[in-house]
Amino acid sequence: MNANEVVTNYIAAWNERDPVKRRAAAAKAWAPKGTYVDPHRKASGLDEIDAMLGVAQASFPGYQVRLISKIEAHNEHIRFSWAAGGTPEAPLYLGGTDFIRVGPDGLSAAIVGFVDATPAM
């Protein structure tokens, strides 16, 4: 497992705005039957994951996910923290910590996201 590559591909999928390129990026990050769940979204399989990414991008135009922690990995598990926003183009700051279980093919089999920072209400 190359944890750096897994996380880089995952972040690239969240950031790719072109629908065709986004689908290709998602296929480099997730296994065909991979899953994603966080407090606000849930998706299973590449079709649902790609659709979920598109909805998130439409909800937060101008946002780019970026790595803000070291990548920790052991066995088939990865943990890292990310942030998005906090810029003039995307002023509301969002942040979280995600956990990835990597499958035998080196792709993300399951991703669980936790939101650490959200805009004040």
The CATH number of the domain holding residue 113 is 3.10.450.50
Q: Among residues 17, 101, 25, which one has the least CA distance to residue 63? A: 17
- Domains in the chain: how many in total? 1
User: Can you give the residue range of the structural domain that contains 74?
Assistant: 3-117
**Terminal CA-to-CA distance of the chain, rounded, Å?**
40
76's tokens: 């088939």
Global pTM reads 0.90
Per-residue model confidence as pLDDT tens digits over 5-47 = 999 999 999 999 999 999 999 999 999 999 999 999 999 999 9
- Residue 1, pLDDT > 50, answer yes
